[in-house]
Structure 1
Amino acid sequence: MKDGAMKDSAMKDGATQLDLRPGQSTELLKELHILTREGRINQDSRRKLKQVLHLYQFIEKLLAQLPQAPEGPTLADHGAGKSYLGFILYDLYFKDLGAGRIYGIETRAELVERSQALAARLGFERMSFLNVSAADASGLDTLPQRFDVVTALHACDTATDDAIAFGLRKQAQHMVLVPCCQAEVAACLRRDKALSLSRTPLAELWRHPLHTRELGSQLTNVLRCLYLEARGYQVTVTELVGWEHSLKNELILATHTGHRKRAASDRLRSLLAEFGLQGLEPLRYPDL
């Protein structure tokens, strides 16, 4: 078999293994180093792409539900990293739509520059990348006043909270969040552990360091969901993919209804009091 034919065969094999969608750009996947130049894929890339494509299925449905507008939808992707999610969203949805814009928000300048260059090479002219934190992004005059969709895939620790605050300020219709490395609540639990152990038997749930980390992560996401409900969102929590693909697997989907739930506010405050976390309310859960 000639070299050209062998490369074509390898590309077809790679596409088959990945179960790509019709029209999906293999050139993009090579640029993202998901596929090699010969069209092959390794197991780590397969897991990463499976997560992103699975998340895309959720986001595609939300985008389709938005009211049609000439300017198209606006989407902010927080903690964009190498912008796997943003590029695949553009390739599979925004490109053929001919409207709309994706903003990738990332604190690492080298990744922002790389994404800008890749978008230019591929002709993805309605993608923008900003070297800024999620916390600072909402105050930028260069960004739209409103966003239709806000995403945060594995935005570490409090960056997910900052993405939520951004979505609330920008009146996002939908938020799609896959939290990662939640450490803030665990640190608070750890700091006040001695007092809590003397105050309530519930403190046994976080007496051991491993349990502190796990409970802190669980409690963080519960508080986030209650806050979103208190601020007028309907919330669904599910798995992103099977646990064999990622341990950072919780997917929080929030859709704005405008119906603020008083009960959610009350429960959030009760949980903060029960676990000695009242100091987090003005920082993470303002305007309850």
Structure 2
Amino acid sequence: MSGVREPDLRPGQSVELLKELHILTRDGKLNQDSRRKLKQVYHLHQFIDDLLRELPPSDEGPTVADHGAGKSYLGFILYDLTLKALGRGTVYGIETRAELVERSRALAQRLGFERMQFLAISAADAADAQQLPAAIDLVTALHACDTATDDAIAFALRKQARALVLVPCCQAEVAATLRQTKALSLARTPLAELWRHPLHTRELGSQLTNVLRCLYLEANGYQVTVTELVGWEHSLKNELILARRTGQRKRSAAQRLRALLAEFGLESLEPVRYPGLPADA
């Protein structure tokens, strides 16, 4: 176990917070696994910090909704490194497991992180929660499983979010739908060979899910960048989707999304996952 060395900790980083999150040991040291975890969180924080700095200044400061927050590693680091020094802005941690929400509330109180709030609620229900403001500047969803990422996107559209940072995980819904229509698709198009084998169904379903999500965001007025979340060496879920709202809805994106749904026999998903598509696209 090695001691903390520069540049392991960012300037201004609360050592007490890292101890509470069990990234540092009680005597302030890092082991190899903790060092990797810290590097991962810092890397994602940098993307979010850059997006927050692009926002127009306001008296209230930026608002961030972190979906599937878990133990709120990301939310705490973001508050500690960005919002604390800014003196304004709020992080809302959204997590279904009540025990994790209570733990995060207690930690925020101990550390004096007054502008952190935690809700024991699902991403699907969060848009109607009275505890959240009518508009949110930035929405994150880190490894939100399966359709929770879609729920976070729907939340962002309802809240007119200026930006999204998504690391999707365990996309199963599209693969399940592909399996249901496999026999018909095999008779209809040679493209169905892409998902004839179960392993390919899962892999293609995951790829297609994220492609559809990106098109949906573009159709709703966002500029989308897809890249790798480098630094997550231990995770196969390494796709990072960044979206900035421009307000310029891309008609072609909506048309291509519908074309892909038709090509892959996924039309049943449109009213469920893509209700915001314009009717005339």
Q: TM-score, normalised by structure 2?
A: 0.95
1:45 aligned onto 2:37: no
| Contact 1:47–1:245 under 8 Å retained in 2 | no
1:247 aligned onto 2:236: yes
Q: Judging by fraction of residues, say which structure has more helix.
A: 1
**Greater mean deviation of Cα atoms: 29-38 or 271-280:** 29-38
Matches within 5 A, 1:99-248: 99-242=88-231, 244-248=233-237
- Match in the other structure for 1:276: 265
Aligned pair partner of 2:79 in 63, 66, 90: 90
Runs of 4+ deviating beyond 6 Å: none
Letter in 2 for 1:147: I
| Contact 1:105–1:129 under 8 Å retained in 2 | yes
> Shift of residue 200 of structure 1?
1.2
Deviation by residue 1:211-268 (Cα, 9 ceiling, x = unmatched)? 1111100000000000000000000001111463421110100000010000000000
**How large is the Cα RMSD of the aligned pairs?**
1.4
Deviation by residue 1:121-143 (Cα, 9 ceiling, x = unmatched)? 11101000000000000011221
| Contact 2:39–2:231 under 8 Å retained in 1 | no
Letter in 2 for 1:84: Y
Deviation by residue 1:150-190 (Cα, 9 ceiling, x = unmatched)? 00111110000000000000000001101011111011111
**SS at structure 2 position matched to 1:114:** helix
| Contact 2:8–2:35 under 8 Å retained in 1 | no
Give the gaps of 5 or more residues in structure 2.
none
> Shift of residue 27 of structure 1?
1.1
- Match in the other structure for 1:66: 55
Letter in 2 for 1:118: L
1:29 aligned onto 2:18: yes
Identity between Structure 1 and Structure 2 (%)? 78
Residues in 2 aligned to 1:40 and 1:109: alpha-carbon distance in whole angstroms = 30
1:79 aligned onto 2:68: yes
| Contact 1:14–1:35 under 8 Å retained in 2 | no
Letter in 1 for 2:251: R
> Shift of residue 17 of structure 1?
7.2
Letter in 2 for 1:123: G
> Shift of residue 68 of structure 1?
0.8
Give the gaps of 5 or more residues in structure 1.
1-9
Q: 1:196 to 1:14 in 2, by over 3 A?
A: farther
Residues in 2 aligned to 1:191 and 1:207: alpha-carbon distance in whole angstroms = 11
Q: 1:204 to 1:147 in 2, by over 3 A?
A: same
- Match in the other structure for 1:4: none
Deviation by residue 1:62-93 (Cα, 9 ceiling, x = unmatched)? 11111111111110000000000000000000
**SS at structure 2 position matched to 1:105:** strand
**SS at structure 2 position matched to 1:202:** helix
Q: 1:189 to 1:46 in 2, by over 3 A?
A: farther
Q: TM-score, normalised by structure 1?
A: 0.93
**SS at structure 2 position matched to 1:16:** coil
Residues in 2 aligned to 1:131 and 1:196: alpha-carbon distance in whole angstroms = 41
* Aligned residues between the structures: 277
Letter in 2 for 1:164: I
**SS at structure 1 position matched to 2:131:** coil
Letter in 2 for 1:158: T
- Match in the other structure for 1:3: none
Residues in 2 aligned to 1:73 and 1:118: alpha-carbon distance in whole angstroms = 21
